[in-house]
Amino acid sequence: MQNIIPPRLQNGDEIRTVTLSQSLGSITLNHAEIVKQKLATLGLKTSFGHNSIKVDDTGSNSIQDRVDDLHAAFADKAVKAIFVARGGMNCNQILPYLDYDLIAKNPKIIIGYSDITAIINAIYAKTGIITYSGPGFSSLKSVDFDDDDFTYKYWHKALFTNEPIEVLPAKNIVDESYKTGKPESLEYVSDGFWIINEGVCEGTIVGSNLCTLNLLQGTQFMPSLVDSVLFVEDDHESSAGHFDRDLESLTHLPDFNKVRGIVIGVFQNDSYVNREILTKLIKNKPKLANIPVIANVNFGHTKPMLTFPIGGIASLEVSTGSTRLIIGTHYGFNKKD
């Protein structure tokens, strides 16, 4: 299957926000209006799925409502990109009910992260359309639409251009701790990328939220791992033990021996996973011994957040004291003259 690069966003485009997991109706109208106005500064017009603000007892809405809104967004020629409202817990419910032929005939950007990992990987696996792991609609409220803002810079480059993007570490990391039972914001200086295994590779990007990706194992919705670079992360509920066994589960897949490299996102402080613990965990897996592995890359459940293409290409060069990570939408972008 040939990968399909959806058209880039440009001034005047309409984006559609839909609920695929936790409902848009679970955020305030003021929150939604702030994001809408920010997008308007880029000349983007925001519309919302007909059922997007419905909320049931789970904080989501019905399978049929979510499927209908996603189908309508793909079928509407005026809509150029689909922003998923929020993450949650139940995005995988809708996968068997989607019309992948409709989606394949109307390629367009779709972006979200966390629980949305299920659908962006499923769409890529079923259609070959490159999808995006990055901030959903509600997450854009805390993003400064300025090139000095890490999240905005990489989000804008990924969705508005086809140029290869070199990923650099953010200077600071913002996290939320839940130790007291309510979110408490923490900010600290990043120590950059963690080099765990050296090596050089180039491959197709698959992954994002690890425990959600694992929900696709054994189904028609799981992307091939052949010639892939895995991007994986998890939230504060994932301890070292949880992350270890979830990653181990991926290594048992028949095509894991074709994985070319692994890129791991920033761990939340409440996971208690530091560089030493993660290095021991990775070094204890013989199947990872001969592929490059880096960690503490800015994607996942901390801020700032990288946007990257599922089905796109990652070029990774890792040596002592030096790391170079470049992402793009097609092979060959990193060829030396």
Residue type, 68: D
For 132-156, the three-class secondary structure string (H helix, E strand, C coil) is EECCCCHHHHHCCCCCCCHHHHHHH
What token pair was written down for 325? Answer: 């990570």
Catalytic one of 133, 228, 301, 315: 301
Which of 125, 136, 132, 66 lies closest to 100, judged by CA? 125
Which of 335, 203, 324, 319 lies closest to 260, judged by CA? 203
Q: Answer yes or no: are the C-beta atoms of 335 and 317 closer than 8 Å.
A: no
b/e per residue 2-30 (b: at least 16 CB within 10 A): ebebbeebeeebbbbbbbbbbbbbbbeee
Query: Residue 154: what are its φ and ψ, rounded to 5°?
Result: -75, -35
Asked whether the CA dihedral 155, 157, 161, 162 is positive or negative, the reply is negative
Taking the C-alpha atoms of residue 159 and residue 156, their distance in angstroms, rounded to an integer, is 5
Catalytic one of 233, 238, 271, 315: 233
Catalytic one of 23, 52, 60, 114: 114
Between helix 275-283 and helix 240-251 the angle, nearest 10°, is: 30
Verify whether residue 176 is a known catalytic residue: no
Residue type, 91: C
Which of 197, 228, 206 lies closest to 294, judged by CA? 197
Which of 294, 286, 283 lies closest to 318, judged by CA? 294
Query: Bridge partners of 317?
Result: 200, 324
The percent helix, strand, coil of the chain (3-state, each to 5) is 30, 25, 40
Verify whether residue 233 is a known catalytic residue: yes
User: Which residues form the catalytic set?
Assistant: 114, 233, 301
